Amino acid sequence: MEWQELTDLTQGRSFVVERVRLADSDVAIEGRFEPPQLAQLDVDDQVFVAAFVRAHGSIKEMERVFGVSYPTVKSRLNRIAQRLDFVDTDPAPTAGTADVVDRLQRGEISVQEALAELEGPR
């Protein structure tokens, strides 16, 4: 079964994968595996996201490829984005990290001391 067939069968409902078999061997893994968020989108939205990535995020290129207007592309991107959790790629520093950085900025500790504190005990 192709991934798109599974996506069509679930019709946007949440699902869990319970068994995975490695294609090149007889190894099977059983458990509860949440599929990635992009895999939970319907097939049309998966194609749209893939096209957006291939277009390097160019809305102008998406307008050309899909033959739709700028507002239509933006609306669809916004709708898809609402279905995806935000991934913080630059999380705020923890309180301990912020304290070390503050003390470093005030000149209370050296760069080497700050690095040693941030690395913690080995």
Asked if the model's pLDDT at residue 1 lies above 80, the reply is no
The domains of the chain are located at 3-83, 90-122
CA angle 93, 94, 97 (to 5 degrees): 75
Structure confidence by residue, pLDDT tens digits, 57-108: 999 999 999 999 999 999 999 999 998 887 766 666 677 788 888 888 999 9
Are the beta carbons of 39 and 65 closer than 8 angstroms? no
Domain 3-83 sits in CATH at 1.10.10
Structure confidence by residue, pLDDT tens digits, 43-58: 889 999 999 999 999 9
Are the beta carbons of 100 and 118 closer than 8 angstroms? yes
Distance CA 120, CA 115 (A): 8
Q: How far apart are the first and last CA of the chain?
A: 48
